[in-house]
Structure 1
Amino acid sequence: MQGRRVVILGVSVALAASLVACGSSDNSTGSDNADTHGQALRVAVDALPGGKGSPFNTTGTPEVYTHAAIYDQLTLVDQDGTVKPWLATSWKNTSDTTWTFTLRSGVKFSNGEVLDAQGVADVITFVKTDPEVSKQAVAGDLRVIASAKALDAATVEITTTAVDPLLPNKMTELFIPAPKVLAQKGNAGITSDPVGTGPFKVQDWSANKITLTANTDSWRAPKVGTLEIQALPDPASRMQALQSGQVDLITAISPDQGKQLTGNYRAEITKAAQVMSLAFINTKGDTPMASPKVRQALNYAVDKDAIAQSLLLGQGEAVGQGTSAKAAGYNPDIKPFPYDVNKAKQLMAEAGYPNGFEITVDVVVGSYPADAEIYQLVKGDLAKVGVSVNLRQITFANWLKFYLANSWDSQAFGLSWNSLPTMDGARAMSLFSCLKQPAFFCDQPTADLLKQALTNLNPDARSRQLQTVGQAMHDNPPALYLVRQIDINGLSDKLQGFANNNRFLPYDKMYKS
């Protein structure tokens, strides 16, 4: 789902290379030469979590930037798509619909409560049954879970309603709050006073700033004594705060801002497991979007390489599918639609639109680096083939309302193919298919292929099935595929231990030299 979040400048390869391309290595030994525990790590983000300390209402940004400091999950999926042990050290399928997870020993919550299997089972049950939380995003993604129970103090058994090979991946979405606090105070209790096993615990939470202190008993105890996370919605304000020394790390800046970080500051660029696209609506009557040839034509009409090179520092890449390169189901044989104006015009004429047409496209600006400029470039390219685009900027709140109810009065809208947090293509494919209810796009043969893949427990066979679905979604596109996006964060050169692991920041590793 789309995250909360015109001069085109060419950027040379040398300039792009001058911006550090990925997160730094683990500096776990670097702070041992000096006492860093008196340090305060200061971070500026675009917004604090809308649900405050409750980790159940979303799995994306900006919430994860804060919740990663307070909570932990059973598993953590890294950028290569590997499911890593986290609060759970191992897991296995004991039947088609039963999984067991073995918990890490010696883990305590910041209030002294001990992590055990009964507590984890109680949290899962709460998410499934609480009248409020059961309607939120995490419960939706975990709806395949039927029940959870403790087999012993260290073993949780989870039963699913259907075969789900992705359950270990999905457990990365469930942050575990202190079970007794959750039982006694409910979601309201952890919203105002979150208690987790993470490296920090909340000391003060105001409207625009959270102050956290080290949870020295955490299984991943931090190297610094204090963490401050403040909301600065304006990217320019975040840049000013970094360059004036008020903060050590800022998130979500633009490519142009990244180029400004030199000297004592640097930009960290990470290729995101997220593909930017404009989703087509074909379930709203007889519109141009109902024609496969029109949808193909629009893909040929946009110069995606120009977007990647001129607007994304040469670090983005044109795509012809929604699944990211390291996610399960990625098909290396699918190439981007080449930029071909004549081909686009030919297909539109064959579809019965030789003179083009008008469409309205709804977008939320500020979700991705350079998204406003990208949308303008798309609008200009489509005009060259006779498609007049009414680019309508809407709020995220309205976008979400239209998306959930499929109440669009437009013909397309901005929607990313997000392989996060599970690093699996099936989730995004489902959203761009008949399987999303109510569906904005439906091609039943493709949906039937996808259904078969969703319940296949053989990883290799399942990946091949998803690759077939990806090819079908290229040939009969549900979206105007644009580019694989990038994350750009700004750092002080003194900051050590930073890495962008699918936006889960390693607060336990970071310190200042």
Structure 2
Amino acid sequence: MPRSPMFTAPASLSLALVLALACAGCSGGTKDSGGSAGTGGFSVAVAEPDHLTPGRSTVGWDQLRVLFAPLVKVDAKGGISYVQAKSVTSTDARHWTIKLRSGWKFHNGEAVTAQSYADAWNATAYAPNGWAGNGQLTGIEGYAALNPAKGKPKTKTLSGVKVVDATTLDVTLTSPDSQFPLQLTPSQLGFYPMPKAAFKDPKGYDKKPIGNGPFRMTSAWKADEGTTVSAYAAYRGPKPKSSEITFKSYADLNTAYTDVQAGNIDLAYVPVSKYGQAKADFGDRLHTYDAPSLEFMGLPLQDRKFDDVRLRKALSMAIDRSAVNKAIYGGLYTSATSLTPSSEVGAETDICDACAFDPAAAKKLLKEAGGWSGKLTITYPGGLGLDELYKAVANQLRQNLDIPDVRAQPTADWAEFSEKAFGGKITGLNHAHWGALYPSMQATLRGIFTKAGGCQVCSHYSDGDVDKLLQKADSAADTTAAAKLYNEAQKRILQDFPVIPLFYGSYIYASTPKVTGVTVGPADVELSRISVVG
């Protein structure tokens, strides 16, 4: 539920050359653990989904990740294990072969084949469909033909996706990409397969999708209420630990939080506004994971007042992240010391010197940069629980840099903030967030610091040297080489210091004593691993 590629909006969409994916560190991951699904069920708070067709959805994360099985999974250390895939291999990082496990079925009994993937990927990539997951397939050859700058596409299929046989899919990328296997993980909904039934009745399927995962939907989603999904007895992967999950729709996560306290629902994502009290409220029933996300402030680099990198670094060094984290978030965040969090494969931290709180050095840098005159504003979306954060940051800039007029300035809501950001109407600092849909430095660095990135409007930054380093990293021969180059790229970006890193984000859930085995990891909360007590 909490994933959000850019800024921080109500749950919204998006986003190692593992040439040796059949390597020692990659386990099979789908051996039956024995026995059947656990008994009993539990309930989960979710936002009302816009769609439940995988390639279309921007909000239905939790539901779709139990209704569908991904090709691969990634653990907290970046190790890849196979789920629906048997192997994902390449000799040049551009031409990939995906071998599927045979015998897997959709919930309606239809076989899961290479064609099931090709059909779903083509539908997602076809521009006239307007599906939200479209951008996840940009790296595949033929994507441009399905998304022409003008007019209707002359084809409906990706030329880079070839069905070799029932269990073999050949994928050709537009250029070498060492991170392609990481893109096949659960959060990239655009890479899930779909059965033939999805295309015969798209409207009905969108309310009651047929997946290939550990749970099946027995009744259609009821708007503003939810549904219950049941364990799928024929699932070929690890059996789920409970017999059913009830998803309850919430318009306000603060209400869901209160309902977990009251025992009215068993699991809910903790909204940022509750971070300060969550530990006291839930103790060991609070479940956290350092997410592949970055909370930061953007700078209007198009404004000459922000040209001097010393000014930008001074603003950063005047912020006591640790004090803010403790006072507002109960210590649940981690102060950022780089541009890429440690949860992204191979990411280096402790490389951002200007992220360290040093008010004396900050004043010196500001003076060297010519000082600051006039008003300094921090614009952020109102109504999302961010007021205390930016009031605290404004106070610290005012006090530690002797800038008299620093204002934390909320917009009326997310819509107004988005309109200002995309319209280039923000004149000072601005709130920004990037949540990677797969745990790779590639996702963050390309997303924020390249012209084609989904959060380029957050940073207003790109650089030719950085582009070259990222291209080299994408084409690297092994995971170590790729990580080294991505880290070089982020160090190069930090020389220019185009944004002010604040915190690495977290996935945080609260539960009732009714459930156990709550595990949060790179793909968010693992609902199929939760069991019911008693």
Q: If the length of structure 2 is used for normalisation, what is the TM-score?
A: 0.81
Query: Structure 1 residue 360: deviation in Å?
Result: 4.2
Aligned to 2:227: 211
Offset of 1:222 from its aligned partner? Answer: 3.3
Change in Cα spacing, 1:408 to 1:70, as seen in structure 2 (3 Å) is: farther
Aligned-pair distance for 1:465? 1.4
Q: Which residue number corresponds to residue 132 of structure 1? A: 129
Q: Which residue of the partner structure matches residue 410 of structure 2?
A: 392
Q: Per the alignment, do residues 451 and 285 of structure 1 end up closer, same or farther by CA in structure 2, a change over 3 Å counting? A: farther
Task: Give the 3 Å change call, closer, same or farther, for CA 48–374 of structure 1 in structure 2.
Answer: same
Distance 2:69 2:121 in 1: 14
The answer to whether residue 380 in structure 2 is matched with residue 351 in structure 1 is no
The letter of the residue matching 2:115 is Q
Question: What are the within-5 Å matches in structure 2 for residues 57-68 of structure 1?
Answer: 57=56, 62-68=59-65
1:442 aligns with 2:461: yes
TM-score, with structure 1 as normaliser: 0.84
Name the % identity: 22
1:112 to 1:257, Cα distance in 2 relative to 1, 3 A: farther
Contact kept? 2:270, 2:508, Cα under 8 Å: yes
Residue of structure 2 equivalent to 1:142: 137
Partners of 2:303 and 2:204 in 1: CA distance:
46
> Counterparts of 1:237 and 1:476 in 2: how far apart (Å)?
42
Matches of 2:35 and 2:166, distance apart in 1? 35
1:408-430 CA distances to partner (integer Å, 9 max, x unpaired)? 43333222243x33211122212
Question: How many angstroms apart in 1 are the aligned matches of 2:176 and 2:481?
Answer: 15
For 2:290, the equivalent position in structure 1 comes to 271
In the alignment, does 2:132 pair up with 1:114?
no
Q: Aligned to 2:164, what secondary structure does the other structure show?
A: strand
* Other-structure match for 1:159: 172
The residue number in structure 2 matching 1:466 is: 486
* Partner secondary structure for residue 2 of structure 1: coil
What is residue 15 of structure 2 aligned with on the other side?
none
Q: Within the alignment, does 1:320 sit opposite 2:337 as a pair?
A: yes
Does the aligned pair in 2 maintain the 1:105–1:154 contact within 8 Å?
yes
- Give CA deviations for 1:260-303 in whole Å, capped at 9, x if unaligned: 4358x821222222221112231x342x2333122111111100
Deviation at 1:462, TM superposition (A): 2.0
Aligned runs of 1:302-317 on 2, under 5 Å?
302-317=319-334
| Structure 2 match to 1:170 | 183
* TM-fit CA distance, 1:356: 5.8
The alpha carbon displacement at 1:314 in A equals 3.0
Matches of 1:269 and 1:161, distance apart in 2: 37
What does 1:84-103 align with in structure 2 at a 5 Å threshold? 84-103=81-100
CA distance 1:132–1:364, shift in 2 (3 Å): farther
Greater relative contact order structure (CA < 8 Å, 6+ sep): 1
The Cα shift of 1:463 comes to 1.3
Deviating 4+ runs (over 6 angstroms): 28-32
Distance 1:496 1:308, change over 3 A: same
In the TM superposition, residue 354 of structure 1 has moved relative to its aligned partner by 4.3
Over aligned residue pairs, what C-alpha RMSD do you find?
2.8
In structure 1, stretches of 5+ residues that fail to align are 6-27
Distance 1:199 1:396, change over 3 A: farther
**Relative to 1, partners in 2 of residues 1:201 and 1:210: Cα closer, same or farther, differing over 3 Å?**
farther
Amino acid across the alignment from 2:370: G
Equivalent in the alignment of 1:184:
200
State the SS of the aligned residue for 2:472.
helix
SS at 1:231 equivalent: strand
1:394 shift after superposition: 5.0
Contact 1:117 1:153 in 2 (8 A): yes
1:210, 1:229 within 8 Å by CA — same for their partners in 2?
yes
Distance 1:390 1:497, change over 3 A: closer
Distance 1:460 1:36 in 2: 40
Q: Is the 8 A contact 1:98 1:158 kept in 2?
A: yes
> Of the candidates 3, 7, 20, which is equivalent to residue 2 of structure 1?
7
Letter in 2 for 1:42: S
Q: 1:241 to 1:175 in 2, by over 3 A?
A: farther
Distance 1:165 1:206, change over 3 A: same
Structure 2 distance, partners of 1:510, 1:200, is 13
Q: Is the 8 A contact 1:209 1:228 kept in 2?
A: no
2:389 is aligned, of 354, 374, 383, to: 374
- Listed as ranges, the gaps of 5+ residues in structure 2 are 1-5, 11-31, 142-159
2:333, 2:503 within 8 Å by CA — same for their partners in 1? Answer: yes
SS at match of 2:88: strand
C-alpha separation in 1, matches of 2:34 and 2:255: 31
Greater mean alpha carbon deviation, residues 309-318 or residues 246-255: 309-318
What secondary structure is seen at the aligned counterpart in 2 of 1:205? coil
Partner AA of 1:275 in structure 2: L
Separation of aligned partners in 1, 2:265 and 2:137 = 36
What corresponds to 1:476 in structure 2?
A: 496
| SS of residue in 2 equivalent to 1:322 | coil
Aligned length: 473
Q: Rate the CA distance shift 1:407–1:132 in 2: closer, same or farther, 3 A.
A: farther
Q: Residue 423 of structure 1 aligns to which amino acid in structure 2?
A: P
Whether the 8 Å contact between 2:317 and 2:362 is mirrored in structure 1 is yes
Q: CA deviation at 1:479?
A: 1.3
Structure 2 CA distance for partners of 1:497 and 1:390, relative to 1, 3 Å: closer
Task: State how far apart, in whole Å, the 2-side matches of 1:91 and 1:30 are.
Answer: 26
